[in-house]
């Protein structure tokens, strides 16, 4: 009995140590300590219609995405125009960095810290010049009195400050769209971090409990618990859980049966 207790304690300490090592590695990589080094994606605003089965490599509902801290504006690479990307740097199915930021929903130039962070792609940087004009290098706009970028749904836009223009890959217009913008341009200090890497599907376990509203409304949407996600993601999650939980459980059952069988033969 004492030996079994010691083995149990040893296994518990080993498990805690492994979890601790993983968390330490994630914090070291992302620089987010003591905050969470990852976020759960709730909406379908970053999805790609041409994603393969399982949707690995793009950002979809239920994905766990690592959030790497940035040290300023220059740490974020913008995409630029769809017809002429500003960079060769590609992440999650398109050019440029995907950032996680706190939006300014009421347009007062102050991030609304009580609101849910947004995970969208950085499209371009708007520079408000000292004379009140604007420069957007990615779209070859220099010293203009207002900003019009048709492909982003931005017309005669006069933001109060410099910042990033952002957009979900699945959305048709930018977050800072002209018809009632969601956010003023994103200041670097509003950015929690940039997306780096993903653990697909496993965030659905949390969303089953806490929900993601109408996070996905496609024709293959499946609701389990409070979570809504594409059918193929649920299938991949089920297969993954079967592998992670089912195989060790089956191995334990097999070892128990072998010991039971051995004792029975001795009798």
Q: pLDDT tens for residues 20-40?
A: 888 788 888 888 888 889 999
pLDDT of 3 > 70? The answer is no
Assess if residue 126 is contained within a domain: yes
Q: Range of 215's domain?
A: 36-225
pLDDT band at 115 (very low <50, low <70, confident <90, very high): confident
Assess if residue 53 is contained within a domain: yes
- The pLDDT score that the predictor gives to residue 168 is 95
pLDDT of 6 > 90? The answer is no
Same domain, 12 and 66: no
Assess if residue 121 is contained within a domain: yes
Torsion over CA: 136, 103, 120, 218 (sign): negative
Same domain, 23 and 96: no
pLDDT over 70, % of the chain = 93
Residue whose tokens read 């203009």? 144
Same domain, 109 and 23: no
Question: Of 225, 240, 256, which residue constitutes the final position of a domain?
Answer: 225
Q: In Å, how far are 233, 246, 252 from 18, measured between CA atoms?
A: 27, 20, 20
- Beta strand 118-128 pairing with 134-136: antiparallel
* Total domain count, the chain: 2
pLDDT digits (tens, 9 = 90+) for 167-205: 999 999 999 875 555 679 999 999 999 999 999 999 999
Assess if residue 255 is contained within a domain: no
Assess if residue 263 is contained within a domain: no
Same domain, 17 and 76: no
Assess if residue 124 is contained within a domain: yes
Q: Tell which wins on pLDDT, 249 or 71.
A: 71
Upstream peptide bond of 34 is cis (omega within 30 degrees of 0): yes
Same domain, 18 and 117: no
Same domain, 24 and 94: no
Helix (H, G, I), strand (E, B) or coil at 154: strand
The answer to whether 136 and 124 have CB atoms below 8 angstroms apart is yes
Same domain, 77 and 114: yes
**Torsion angle, alpha carbons of 102, 121, 126, 155, to 10:** -100
Assess if residue 79 is contained within a domain: yes
Same domain, 53 and 115: yes
Q: Tell me what the mean pLDDT of segment 98-113 comes to.
A: 87
Same domain, 155 and 189: yes
Same domain, 91 and 200: yes
Assess if residue 241 is contained within a domain: no
Same domain, 58 and 178: yes
Rg of the chain, C-alpha, whole Å? 24
């Amino acid at each position: 009995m004492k030996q079994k207790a010691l083995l149990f304690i040893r296994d518990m300490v080993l498990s805690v140590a492994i979890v601790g090592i993983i968390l330490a590695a994630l914090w070291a990589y992302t620089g987010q300590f003591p905050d969470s080094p990852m976020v759960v994606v709730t909406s379908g605003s970053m999805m790609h219609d041409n994603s393969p089965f399982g949707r690995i490599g793009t950002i979809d509902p239920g994905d766990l995405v690592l959030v790497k801290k940035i040290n300023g504006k220059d740490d974020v690479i913008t995409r630029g125009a769809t017809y002429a990307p500003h960079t060769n740097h590609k992440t999650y199915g398109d050019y440029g960095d995907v950032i996680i930021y706190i939006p300014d929903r009421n347009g007062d130039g102050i991030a609304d810290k009580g609101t849910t962070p947004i995970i969208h792609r950085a499209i371009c940087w708007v520079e408000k010049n000292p004379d009140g004009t604007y420069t957007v290098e990615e779209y070859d706009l220099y010293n203009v009195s207002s900003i019009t970028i048709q492909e982003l749904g931005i017309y005669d836009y006069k933001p109060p400050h410099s910042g990033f223009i952002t957009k979900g890959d699945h959305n048709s217009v930018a977050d800072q769209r002209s018809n009632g913008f969601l956010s003023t341009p994103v200041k670097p200090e509003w950015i929690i971090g940039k997306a780096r890497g993903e653990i697909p599907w496993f965030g659905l376990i949390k969303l089953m409990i806490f929900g993601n509203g109408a996070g996905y409304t496609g024709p293959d949407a499946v609701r389990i618990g409070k979570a809504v996600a594409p059918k193929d993601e649920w299938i991949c999650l089920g297969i993954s859980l079967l592998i992670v939980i089912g195989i060790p459980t089956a191995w334990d059952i097999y070892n128990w049966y072998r010991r039971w069988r051995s004792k029975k033969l001795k009798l």
